[in-house]
């Protein structure tokens, strides 16, 4: 299924090649010096394959916080692989309400394409962030050099993260959903070599509540209770897990 999805993404991108003459687009720097190499395609490549990446991917100037990478309905430009920082994706319904559909960290891939060759949702930087761009031509070059299977593996791993999130949303308890969010977020940070118990939160509480399908008031009550019982320590910019065992008992469904 993931293989079919990637092939379909490539087909849809074919007629919408990204204009790399854009002044914001610059050649990809040396992957060997990029801290994200532990979580991106580069991590699985042989040295000779890794040396080819600057000719396959490009990057662009960093985006400031609150800057859109793309908007729903725009013609597809590329797949975007997060190099640094963090993004959120969101959709807006017919009533104008915003729903957060994802948070993206280094190594994650943004830019899902609809049947009409347009982006299905919008993506905005949560802090100063940068991306690598992979166009349809880049996908073809990956295949030519034996990297297509690794692209599929990357997509499969991210699909697993999404599945775990959807399972978390099945919980009717607000504390269970929030605990699951913290545990899953910590796992993603650990994959980047960071602490799984200290969770930076460049996203707002409103964004987290939307992502978890609850009201801001419900989220605030959960955070307040877990803080008072010293399960977590919460600040406007971070959540620190103090009692992991207690949090896992609440959100153990995601383990």
Q: How confident is the model at residue 151, as a pLDDT?
A: 81
For the entire predicted model, the pTM comes to 0.83
Q: How far apart (Å, rounded) are the C-alpha atoms in residues 173 and 125?
A: 30
Q: How confident is the model at residue 116, as a pLDDT?
A: 76
Q: Which of 185, 194, 198, 189 is nearest to 241 (CA)?
A: 198
Spell out the per-residue pLDDT of the chain, length 255, in tens. Answer: 444 444 444 443 443 344 444 545 555 556 767 778 777 888 788 888 888 888 888 888 899 999 999 999 898 878 899 999 999 999 999 899 999 999 999 989 888 776 678 888 999 999 999 998 888 888 888 888 888 888 888 778 778 888 889 889 998 899 999 999 999 999 999 988 999 999 999 999 999 999 999 999 999 999 999 999 999 999 999 999 999 999 999 998 776
| 90 SS3 class | strand
Beta bridge partners of residue 134, listed in sequence order: 79
Q: How confident is the model at residue 27, as a pLDDT?
A: 53
Q: How confident is the model at residue 29, as a pLDDT?
A: 57
Question: Of the CATH numbers 1.10.357.10, 1.10.10.10, 3.20.20.70, 3.40.50.620, which one belongs to the domain with range 170-254?
Answer: 1.10.10.10
Residue 34 — φ and ψ, nearest 5°? -90, 125
Q: How confident is the model at residue 11, as a pLDDT?
A: 44
Residue ranges of the domains in the chain? 2-159, 170-254
Q: How confident is the model at residue 7, as a pLDDT?
A: 47
Please give the radius of gyration of the chain, using alpha carbons only, rounded to the nearest integer. 19
| 57 SS3 class | coil
How far CA 40 is from CA of 24, 31, 105, in Å, comes to 22, 10, 11
Q: Which fold has domain 2-159?
A: Jelly Rolls (2.60.120)
Q: How confident is the model at residue 153, as a pLDDT?
A: 81
Residue 239 — φ and ψ, nearest 5°? -130, 125
């Amino acid at each position: 299924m993931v293989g079919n999805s990637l092939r379909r993404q490539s087909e849809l991108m074919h007629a919408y090649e990204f204009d790399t003459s854009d002044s914001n687009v610059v050649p990809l720097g040396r992957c060997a010096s990029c801290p994200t190499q532990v979580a991106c395609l580069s991590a699985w490549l042989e040295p000779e394959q890794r040396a080819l990446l600057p000719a396959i991917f490009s990057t662009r100037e960093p985006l400031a916080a609150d800057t859109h990478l793309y908007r729903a309905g725009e013609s597809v430009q590329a797949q975007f692989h997060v190099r640094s920082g963090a993004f959120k994706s969101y959709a807006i319904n017919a009533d104008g309400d915003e729903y957060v559909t994802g948070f993206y960290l280094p190594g994650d891939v943004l830019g899902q394409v609809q049947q009409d060759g347009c982006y299905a949702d919008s993506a905005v930087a949560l802090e100063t962030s940068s991306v690598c761009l992979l166009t349809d031509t880049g996908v073809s070059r990956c295949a030519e050099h034996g990297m297509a299977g690794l692209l599929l593996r990357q997509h499969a791993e991210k699909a697993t993260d999404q599945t775990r999130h959807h399972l978390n949303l099945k919980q009717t308890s607000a504390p269970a959903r929030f605990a699951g969010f913290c545990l899953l977020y910590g796992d993603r940070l650990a994959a980047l070599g960071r602490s799984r118990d200290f969770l930076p939160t460049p996203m707002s509480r409103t964004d987290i509540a939307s992502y978890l399908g609850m009201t801001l008031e419900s989220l605030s009550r959960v955070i307040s209770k877990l803080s008072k019982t010293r399960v977590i320590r919460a600040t406007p910019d971070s959540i620190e897990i103090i009692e992991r065992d207690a949090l896992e008992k609440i959100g153990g469904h995601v383990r």
